[in-house]
Amino acid sequence: MARIHLIATGGTIASRAETQGGPVTAGLSAQSLLSGLHDPLDGIEVSAESFQAKGSYALDLATVFALCQRIETVLSAPEIDGVVVTHGTDTMEESAYLAYLLVGSDKPVVFTGAQRHAGVADTDGPRNIAEAIRAAACPAMTGMGAAIVFEGEIHSARHVTKFHASRVDTFRSPGFGKIGDVDEGQVYVARANATPRRIYRPERLDPAVELVLLGLGSRPSYLSWAVETGATGVVLAAFGRGNAPEGFAQAAAQARAQGCPVVVATRCPEGRTLPVYGNDSGGRSLEDAGVIFAGALPPVKARLLLAVLLGQGADLVRIAAAFAQEG
């Protein structure tokens, strides 16, 4: 019999409205979530604990770092075969990616949640939980790193993103695709991750890494302001292959001179950064200014990787090497 441990962290899946039309807030316990399952989990024994009761938009890096440590502790017990984490969808991809980077066990770690809260008749929570538990109990998930199971699909935390604000099939892996399915209680894993997983052991996550979304004509003054006000690293969500408006190459060079690494990721949902264009702040000019390119890592995950690297004291050379490997 497989033994799976469920950790509940709040989110829509654990939420309901106190009054008709009132605000939706998290509060259901892990045991309450389990008691609401519709289907029997034959051959699987499930234990549970409540870790937090917050919407995922209210979490911070320190809390998710503690969550990853708790997952690691639970998985160290020989009788536990895998962990399921219930979590809000807003930042699920970020917490799952941190678990992908930080949890060293090869045992399955599966995140899931809901888009429709527990107080509505057609909530998607119970089905997602049951399918996540089945995935966590599947031997084929061993060594895959953290994943998200949602609406019958299995996605690697390395590539997945929330794609739609409200639909129940919100999670996609642009450019890479899902790694498997859960269909009528059966788990099918179609492929492994192409990129080998590397485990990081920071003492903490650096909370002062900022993310700047660039738009047409964005001013570089915000990058400079971020550095001046204490940012320890900055990720630019840049155009296309990794290009920025005029002035950003100079601002990035100044940031690096002050010891603040600048990472450039593409704001496009598919593709990777590559320094091609010259002139003022094209990718080649940014490269000359000392920025680090994130490859295929999207901006939100590039920020997390940088927070991990700074949290373990990495210098610019090691940061660049890590992004070359992970991106």
Q: Which residue numbers are catalytic?
A: 12, 89
Chain-centroid distance of CA 78 in Å reads 27
User: Nearest 5 degrees, angle CA 312-CA 316-CA 322?
Assistant: 65
Q: At what angle do helices 316-326 and 299-311 cross, to 10 degrees?
A: 140
Coil, strand, or helix at residue 241?
coil
- 8 Å CB contact between 264 and 273: yes
Look up residue 13 and give its DSSP letter.
G
Other C-beta atoms lying within 10 Å of the C-beta of residue 13 = 28
Alpha-carbon span 143 to 184, nearest angstrom: 24
Neighbouring residues of 81: CB distance < 8 A, sequence distance ≥ 6: 2, 3, 4, 107, 108, 136, 137
Tokens of 129: 């939980």
Tokens of 169: 């099939």
What single-letter amino acid sits at 183? D
The candidate with the shortest Cα–Cα distance to 152, out of 181, 110, 123, is 181
The candidate with the shortest Cα–Cα distance to 160, out of 103, 113, 104, 207, is 113
Look up residue 14 and give its DSSP letter.
G
- Strand 153-156 relative to strand 180-183, pairing: antiparallel
